[in-house]
Amino acid sequence: MTDDSTEAEAEAGETDSAVETYPSGYRRAVVDAIPDTPNPTRRKKELDEAVGATAFGFNLYEAAPGEQVPWGYHRHPDHEELFYVLSGSVVVETADGEIELGAGEALFVPPDAPNRARAVGEEPARLIAVGAPKSADDSRISEPCPACGAETDRTYEDRGDVYVLSCAACGAETTRFGAGSSET
């Protein structure tokens, strides 16, 4: 943010020096300065939220080998996604089987198609996930609960620095994670 902040910057919700807003509404982001969002990967930057994008989601992930993206095997009923791998490799679990992606490769995920990615190989994976429309970003996790065995969605509770996921059927905690690490 510049020293001569404007009302437009205040209206855009700018709260830190990670995003600079220009008088005509352009916004420049310093990605490394954007705080990580609680997630099962070592890093998740919600760039869309940082710059105030309203039509699409845009997330940057960094996942150590074995870490999953995002919270579980899930689908978005009315939302399409595109994953683009910047470096490293991921395997995406889909209804058609596993699809491996390396640096420079992308995978389109149509609406209502289940998926979950995990980093594989020796080095961390960096990938971008873009989704639209943002207003239809609702997701449905579908995984067996370790406590009751039912294949259910998950509810989540935001406890500040930690998200806690629970089975929608029995309420048992299934996982928890914070920003910048796979477990908290």
Q: Tell me the per-residue pLDDT of 13-42, one tens digit each, with 9 for 90 and over.
A: 444 689 999 999 999 999 999 999 888 889
Pick the CATH number of 35-178 from 3.90.1520.10, 3.10.580.10, 1.10.150.20, 2.60.120.10: 2.60.120.10
Q: Tell me the per-residue pLDDT of 42-54, one tens digit each, with 9 for 90 and over.
A: 999 999 999 999 9
Q: Tell me the per-residue pLDDT of 90-99, one tens digit each, with 9 for 90 and over.
A: 999 999 999 9
- pLDDT for the residue 9: 39
181 pLDDT higher than 60: no
- pLDDT for the residue 2: 37
| pLDDT mean across residues, the chain | 88
CB 140 within 8 A of CB 132: no
| CA 44 – CA 33 distance, rounded (Å) | 12
Q: Parallel, antiparallel, or unpaired: how do β-strands 68-75 and 140-141 relate?
A: antiparallel
The token pair at 45 is 């930057």
- pLDDT for the residue 16: 60
| Banded model confidence at residue 126, pLDDT cuts 50, 70, 90 | very high
- pLDDT for the residue 57: 96
- pLDDT for the residue 160: 80
Whole-Å CA distances, 172 to 135, 142, 156, 177: 29, 15, 11, 15
Which range has the worst mean pLDDT, 5-19, 101-115, 121-135?
5-19
Work out the burial of residue 113: count CB atoms within 10 Å of its CB; fewer than 13 is exposed, 13-18 middle, 19 or more buried: middle
- pLDDT for the residue 72: 86
Q: Parallel, antiparallel, or unpaired: how do β-strands 68-75 and 97-102 relate?
A: unpaired
- pTM comes to 0.82
Helix or strand or coil: residue 48? helix
| Direct distance between the N- and C-terminal alpha carbons of the chain, in angstroms, rounded to an integer | 32
The helix (run of H) or strand (run of E) holding residue 14 is none
- pLDDT for the residue 176: 87
147 pLDDT higher than 50: yes
